[in-house]
Structure 1
Amino acid sequence: MANDQDYRGADSDTGPRTGAYAGWGSESDVVTTNEPVVGEDDDPAVRMPGEWRQAAAEAGFLPASGADEDAPAPGHRDAPAPAATASRADDALTAQEPDSRAEEREPRDGHWLPHSRYVNRDGIPAERLRVAYRAFLALWAGFVVGALCAFWPTWPFTMDALLGYGVLASLSDEHAALLTMAVFGLGGIAMAYALTVIGYRRLASRFYLMPQAISEERGLIARRVSRVELAHIRTVDVRQSVLDRVLGIGSIHFASAGTGADDVTWDSVLDPVATQRAVLQRLRQTEGD
């Protein structure tokens, strides 16, 4: 930078640095003035020499050439606050989410029961449960064996040859054909039986949770309906065998006051403990209303 004579002139005051230019450059490069600092509308940078203005812009104290003059310089007190960090944003979202561990919470999407469907039950909105597919484990195994026999009826001859028994290899062609037809027919019957029983039990057993009652319906043509008001229910029991625990299914038994037997039974439903908890919560809400 030039010497003092180039910028300050012979008549400049060499006293201490004061005023609008205090703090720029070294002591020999600073123009001193005793003029008071003017208002914000009178920008002292306009009167700054060209080289000083360029150096201030490069240092970040003034906007660069062609930049927005109204934009605040770095470190300006009116600079916008930094955006929220990811952790703060996550904390804000977490604060808005309900506590999933809380015992009392509103039904999700309007459903009280897990794995239920909304239906119109005699003009009354209700949630319906059915017997779970996994409750028919033995029937599904029979369906798989039946499919094997129906689509591969010669598998007994193949297994006989692989094991080296040679029992079926001694059969005549007529007997071998009869055995193949029998295997095919039994396989088809097993598949049809398994699908029929599974479909019938799924369609014939329907369990409902209504605004003021629960019900159990059995049968397609001949029908049996058991209904208990929510206000009359006194016990809600869950019963599971060892296999039921493994499969995640169970039966829920409802009994009302003054009876020694179960009035309504929801058998082989998914997540019986969660279903029991949802029903109990619905009962508490009914008592509160």
Structure 2
Amino acid sequence: MDCQAQTIEQEPLESGEYCTKEVHAEPFSFLTDVTLAPLCGTGAENSCTCDTCCCQEERVIDPDLQAVNMQLHFFINKADNIQKTLSELAVDREAYAASMQSFLFTCQPFFNHLEQTARSPLSDNFLLSESKRSQLFDFSQTLCNKLENLLLTCAGNNLLSLDETEPDGLSHFYIGQCGLGPLRVTFFRYCQLTPYLAEVNTGLFKRMRWNVDQLGEMDNTEYYFLCCEDVNTLPEEDSSSSSQDSGAKMWSIGQWIQVSPETDNINDWIICSIPQGTYLKRVILGSEEPTCSIATDCLLQLLMLDHK
């Protein structure tokens, strides 16, 4: 996908909403077992039944990436174990949600390692070939899909909420971070297509978000989104619709342009229940949803052009 060729002139559309949240968790001592975790499918108790797992027999993992592959399956197995508790007769909703928050937190360093290694020409004294890079991105997408399915299952069992307007909602989760010169880019994945602007139907639905921080400067963060535009959505339709069953869609990357509050004054933010903004469309990606790595590549190319 040629991202640069599809970059368009900035043109504001109707708008959006943004909500930030920090996740705090207890120290993740179980990560000390990562190197001892068996490969997926080696043993009945660790057999893999997930559709998105990358352990298909025909797949050949590069020897240099076997340790990373083992870590991936550790997290896959951990997610499977968490999901198994759904079959228990009595599940403490609050405790389950806290456990999920903690698990998502422990996945963050692994996502960082995958992204930073894949986007570096050299890693651990070996040249990162295109094949290795592709496998690392596949690992990241596999874990991302697993976590997304896990959260959707939990939400379906009323153990947590995917509504981002709720204080404890888990509408999105962290999937990596990388550096780009003076910029730090952090990625998030929405569990499902989520209205760009809460309480108002714009026909736009969020799938990813990138926080772009200018290092060395205070309070200078830009927000970009991977959005799906449902071209068949009418303004009067229910804004809570996920657009999953609608017709033609168009994917794009756009920038959050804050409208309200008009300043960064803390008092203005306190009295503003939901921030408002416009969607400044920057890149057209077509009718098919891009993978997380392809979408991020396009965003990074856009940032490089903007910061030349």
Q: Hey, which of these two has a bigger chunk of strand by percent? A: 2
Higher relative contact order (CA 8 A, sep 6+): 2
Range into which the TM-score falls when normalised by the shorter chain: under 0.3
If you compute each CA radius of gyration, which structure gives the higher value, 1 or 2? Answer: 1
